[in-house]
Structure 1
Amino acid sequence: MRKKLIAGLLTVTLAASLLTGCGKKDTGTDEKEMFKIGVNQLVTHAALDASYQGFIDALKEAGYEDGKNIKIDYQNANNDQSTANTIATKLVNDGNDLILAIATQSALACANATTDIPILITAVTDPAGSGLVSSNEAPGGNVTGTSDLNPVTDQIALLTKLLPTAKNIAILYCSSESNSKIQVELATAAAEDAGLTVQEASVSNSNEIQQVVQSLVGKVDAIYAPTDNTIASGMPTVAQIANENNLPVICGEAGMVDAGGLATYGIDYYELGKLTGAQAVKIIKGETETAAMPIEYLSIDKLTLTINEEVAAKLGVTIPDDLKAE
């Protein structure tokens, strides 16, 4: 009789356990069952912030929301490479299912930290040139994503159109950013083709920006600043010195123009982030793997002309009618 009672209790307990397990699975709210995404953003500035927001919004549009069915761990390295490396290690050790790396230095940190966890990168100019993937067309590993390669030639053409008397220009960038070096090469070639004389003006960190920009006053007619994270985060300093000394700055992206630059013709980083978010959705759903996903670029219709009219008026720059119309 006792044996039968124990057997009966075991049967009831097992059934209750199975029912509890099924109920837990159906809710989809248990943290262990959430798809975990770790984010390593290099630094805070308008372009990178916009790309992150676009990524989040693309996930929401696809039905994935932080705390509901995905868990997002956002980290910011404050433009420090060692911090980016530490964050990358943390995201790997925490067992994230996917890592989003925003900007080249953060992407390199994450790629060095794992070859197993899928990594999506964004705001990286040339992933292959930076050693992140085998090729932009066929990444071949655990890293893929989107590129923010700018229409550098068009930006130099914009400079010559807004500043037709300019002869000598400086290219302002951070020497430790591989994404900037690629843009410097492209800009130099485009500027020389346009008949401009080019001077490189590099900084090794944000503390050198003021001194370097001040050294350009009276030596060049304009500054070209590509999508360099150090310069972008220090753009208020660049703009203050340049605008006070009647030195126009053509920028690599719109956030830098908003911070005091003259103009740009470039990509929309929010849309770039959304493009990366769409890639993440495919990975979450198991529809594809990073090795088979080529690096993606925004289509030409996503490029935008941005002119800071207040700065143009201060510098005495006349905006041509066709640019006003655009």
Structure 2
Amino acid sequence: MKRNKIWLGLSMALMLVAAGCGNNNAAVDNAAGKGNAPASTAEATADTGSSQDNKSYTIAISQYVEHPSLDATREGFMAALKEAGIVEGENLKVDLENAQADQANNLSIAQKIAGDKNDLVLGIATPSAQALVQNVKDTPILFAAVTDPIDAKIVTDLEHPGGNVSGASDTNPESITRLMQFIAGQFPKVKKLGLVINEGEPNAVVMADIAKQELDKHGIELVKAPITNTSEVKQAAESLVGRVDALYITLDNSVVSGVDTIIQTANDNKLPFFSADRDTVEKGAFATVGFKYYDHGYQVGQMAVEVLKNGAKPGDMKVTMQEKLDLILNLKAAEAQGIEVTDAMKAEVADPANNIIQ
């Protein structure tokens, strides 16, 4: 618990100094529909150069598994590079590797990347970033979709990471506490909240601990259904039926990869389903407090531009996080899960045009 309080304190301090890093309601639409490239950041990167530069670049990306949040992160990252004139197929070569949630594959990928010559490497998700940090010693490393980079031993300091590593955390602890407060305030019948979790993923454990601390204040019990891989998600979700009043998942890669089965279980049994990310809400969970992962990846892409074009050292770049959070509701999911969406619930959404999904 002490570790989480320290992380929370560090995170709140970072929130005060990292103003303007995130913008989740930008006007420039991503053609793939994953998110938005913030107008202000687009202007900033416009000055960093164009595809007319003579230099070419090689980067490697290690992604732990395919699912909407991590895919959107990668797309945002690539969009930021393109905005700055670093364009795949023109002056950029990309080695994209996916571990498919297999730790042995993940380690092999990191070792392969360590033996290759790259200008920069990106780790998407905590396990990928950990493996890269352990194996890649000289090449600049950036990470994205990492919950707690200190607990994961990716960096030792958020303001001054040091070494060859920096990036962005995808968890603002406030997003977890606010979601738990929403559940407690708007769902008085929820006394037990079921959590499907792979406790082998440090990011999932950290988020579960933060959620439990807040739920304890409201007299709500967090009931865990543990798994070790994605194939166990369906059985774990079904094991919670009759034992809990609602379901919740963290940014747990193994669980998110099998989230369709949780959505089906929630719908079949009229259990409100809450998630830690917007993409899962778009797929069929009812609510989260969060942001668009495309914007998260775009933010890390801007850091990559600074490294590649301006010679910035990752160790001198503070670890950032998304600052602008909002409650996000899916009204179709509410109907499927037997939830009456009240005016009081809708009133908690700051940007209903973007964050109430019809």
TM-score range, shorter chain: 0.7 to 0.9
> What do residues 95-135 of structure 1 show as CA deviations (whole Å, max 9, x unaligned)?
11100100001111111111111110000011111001121
1:177 to 180, 186, 201: 201
Given the alignment of the two structures, is residue 318 of structure 1 paired with residue 340 of structure 2, yes or no? yes
Task: Find the residue that maps to 1:246 and give its secondary structure.
Answer: coil
Question: Counterparts in 2 of 1:255-274, with a 5 A limit?
Answer: 255-274=279-298
Task: Find the residue that maps to 2:158 and give its secondary structure.
Answer: coil
Given the alignment of the two structures, is residue 284 of structure 1 paired with residue 311 of structure 2, yes or no? no
Alignment match, 2:63: 41
Aligned residues: 296
Alignment match, 2:219: 195
Structure 2 CA distance for aligned equivalents of residues 162 and 79 of structure 1: 35
Alignment match, 1:105: 127
Greater gyration radius: 1
Given the alignment of the two structures, is residue 239 of structure 1 paired with residue 263 of structure 2, yes or no? yes
1:71 to 93, 99, 110: 93
Alignment match, 1:223: 247
Are the counterparts in 2 of residues 162 and 318 from structure 1 also a CA contact under 8 Å? no
- In the superposition, the TM-score normalised over structure 1's length comes to 0.87
> What do residues 46-97 of structure 1 show as CA deviations (whole Å, max 9, x unaligned)?
1101110110111111111112222111111111111111111222222111
Q: How big is the shift at 1:322?
A: 4.2
Q: How big is the shift at 1:260?
A: 2.2
Structure 1 CA distance for aligned equivalents of residues 126 and 339 of structure 2: 34
Are the counterparts in 2 of residues 145 and 276 from structure 1 also a CA contact under 8 Å? yes
Q: How big is the shift at 1:314?
A: 2.3
Q: How big is the shift at 1:320?
A: 2.4
Given the alignment of the two structures, is residue 253 of structure 1 paired with residue 277 of structure 2, yes or no? yes
Q: How big is the shift at 1:183?
A: 0.3
Alignment match, 1:3: none
Structure 1 CA distance for aligned equivalents of residues 105 and 123 of structure 2: 13
Task: Find the residue that maps to 2:321 and give its secondary structure.
Answer: coil
Task: Give structure 1 regions of 4+ aligned residues with deviation exceeding 6 angstroms.
Answer: none
Are the counterparts in 2 of residues 44 and 233 from structure 1 also a CA contact under 8 Å? yes
Are the counterparts in 1 of residues 286 and 333 from structure 2 also a CA contact under 8 Å? yes
Greater shift in the superposed pair: 258-267 or 214-223: 258-267
Structure 1 CA distance for aligned equivalents of residues 311 and 295 of structure 2: 22
Given the alignment of the two structures, is residue 81 of structure 1 paired with residue 106 of structure 2, yes or no? no
- In the superposition, the TM-score normalised over structure 2's length comes to 0.79
Question: Counterparts in 2 of 1:130-141, with a 5 A limit?
Answer: 130-141=152-163
Structure 2 CA distance for aligned equivalents of residues 139 and 265 of structure 1: 28
Given the alignment of the two structures, is residue 163 of structure 1 paired with residue 187 of structure 2, yes or no? yes
Alignment match, 2:237: 213
Q: How big is the shift at 1:313?
A: 1.2
1:62 to 70, 73, 84: 84
Are the counterparts in 1 of residues 171 and 322 from structure 2 also a CA contact under 8 Å? no
Q: How big is the shift at 1:172?
A: 2.1
Task: Find the residue that maps to 1:208 and give its secondary structure.
Answer: helix
Identity %: 37
> What do residues 136-195 of structure 1 show as CA deviations (whole Å, max 9, x unaligned)?
222111111000114100111222244221111122211111111100110000111122
Q: 1:62 to 1:323 in 2, by over 3 A?
A: farther
Are the counterparts in 2 of residues 41 and 101 from structure 1 also a CA contact under 8 Å? yes
Q: Which runs of 5+ in 1 are unaligned?
A: 1-26
Alignment match, 1:50: 72
